[in-house]
Each structure stands twice: as C-alpha cells, then as structure tokens.
Amino acid sequence: MIAQVYGKRGASALHRYDPRAKALLLLAFLVLFFLPIPVWHLGAYLAVVVVLSWIFLGLINTLRPIRLILPILILVLLLTPPFHRQGAALLAIRGFTVLSVSGLLLALRLIVRFSGITLAFYMFIGTTDPDDLILAFRWFRLPYSVSLVLSLALGYIPTIRNLDQVRDAHQLRLAAGVEGIDAAEGHAQKRGLFKRLREAVPILTSVLIVSVRRIPTLAMALECRGIGRKNARTSYHTLKSGGAFLRDGAIAAAGIAVLVVSVLLFP
C-alpha cells in the first residue's frame, strides 16, 4: 500500500540500513533543524541531507519532495519579510521598510528548516519497509497499535499528494488525442492566475475523493493486522541482530556524535 522510493540503480545501502539506527539519525537531524543556530549552520545540515539523498536516491528523487513543497517555500519567502521589518533595511520605499536583514534571515531559516525536515522524512519513509518500521517502533517499546498507526501515518501522508496522476487523468478526459493534449497544454500556458485557481478546484476535489475512497482499504488493512484483538501477537519477521546491528548502531552513534560536536564548535 505504501510505495517505496528507490535510487537510480535500485535499492541502495540506505534501504538496507537498520531502521532503528535510521530512526535515531532522523531524530537527531530533526532536533538540529529546530535549534536556534545561525542560518548558514542550518544550511550546512541541509546540504548534508541533500548530498546523502543524491548519493543514495539519485537526483530525481531528491528534487521530487522539494518540488512538492515549492509553493509553500515561495509563500514563506514572499510573506515572511513584510511582517518582520526590524533591523537594517535592505529595501525601503519612502521611508517604509519593505525588506530588512532580519526578515530575510528569518525567511531563509524557515525555508531551510522546512526543506531539511521534509527531505529527511522523505528519505526515511521512502527507504524503510513498513514492516521494518513497525518492528523498529516496537523495539523502542512502543505498543503495537501505536507502532502501526505511526507507520501508516508516516507512510500514507506522501501518497495523498498525487496531483500529477489526477491532473493527467483530467487532461486525458478533456483531450481526444495527442493533438488535443498539445492544445490543452498550450492553452494552459496562456491562461491567467485566477483561471488556473478556478480550474484547480476539480483536481483538488478529485484528490479529496481518492483519499476518502482509501478509507475502507485502510480499515481492512488494520483489521488484517489484528487491531482490536486481545491475544498475544506473533511475528515471522525480525530485524537485524548481532554484528550487522552493532555496525549500523556504531555508524549512527558516530554520525550523532559528529553532529553534536559541530553544534558545540560552531554555535
């Protein structure tokens, strides 16, 4: 039910990495992105996440989540500076500060923070098998119901944003052939902003309908997983143990130590 994200050559080393160690690294990066540290320091962490995603998932899968949140990033860049005009002015019109240094830095901080968190979660969810994710949560002593709900919630949210498929379906219904599709694309480039927003209503409605129609499937999946039963659960799948687990845990501990040292040395 949850699509996996693979790199350009199939499953990467990040897919085979232990989900427990991966969860600890994700938590460390989330804490770092929320720390009140300089913007350039946050940018360095974002660069690390981008490079790791590029190496293990490829450029296309790295740009995909950024493209999805690009409208939000643009709104943050446009709307944040006007409401934070303290400090030195970068752009002023007749004495009215339109853009200040503090407002620009705050907008950049929010953009870097939101991009880093989004990309880190995208790598974690897209490279972790749902069954392994549940077992990892249970290894941290979370109840099975809580582990299953977290796994479904984290993995199901990205599937809601299927605007590309819905948009293609609407274009196919409006066009009779390749010529019609080309004409529709040419018309889309000429229409104005308000018309685009008005035409987006059917697409958003279709996305909502698709999401609602998935509720019975999700309910049946929960029933098949034994939600609501009182008997003890059994498991036919286990996570890595022994040397492989110690190796992945040592890599995670070393990575977290490097992040902590970087925060202490460059506050």
38 part of a folded domain = yes
Coil/strand/helix, residue 8: strand
27 part of a folded domain = yes
Sign of CA dihedral 15, 17, 23, 29: negative
Same domain, 58 and 173: no
Q: Is the pLDDT of residue 202 over 60?
A: yes
Reported as a pLDDT band with limits 50, 70 and 90, residue 62 is confident
Same domain, 119 and 182: no
Whose tokens are 């999946």? That residue is 221
44 part of a folded domain = yes
Top-confidence residue, 112 or 267: 112
* Reduced DSSP (H G I as helix, E B as strand, rest coil) percent helix, strand, coil of the chain, to 5: 75, 5, 20
pLDDT in tens, 18-60: 889 999 999 999 999 988 888 888 999 999 999 998 988 888 8
Token reading at 21 = 């160690």
Q: What is the mean pLDDT of residues 163-186?
A: 56
Secondary element (H or E) of residue 76: helix 59-79
Top-confidence residue, 147 or 234: 147
147 part of a folded domain = no
Question: DSSP letter at 83?
Answer: G
Same domain, 212 and 254: no
Q: Is the pLDDT of residue 90 over 90?
A: no
67 part of a folded domain = yes
Reported as a pLDDT band with limits 50, 70 and 90, residue 6 is low
108 part of a folded domain = yes
Same domain, 258 and 133: yes
What pTM did the predictor assign? 0.71
151 part of a folded domain = no
201 part of a folded domain = yes
Q: Work out how many domains the chain is built from and give that number.
A: 2
What beta strand segments (E) does 127-248 contain?
Answer: none
> Domain residues for 82?
1-140+239-267
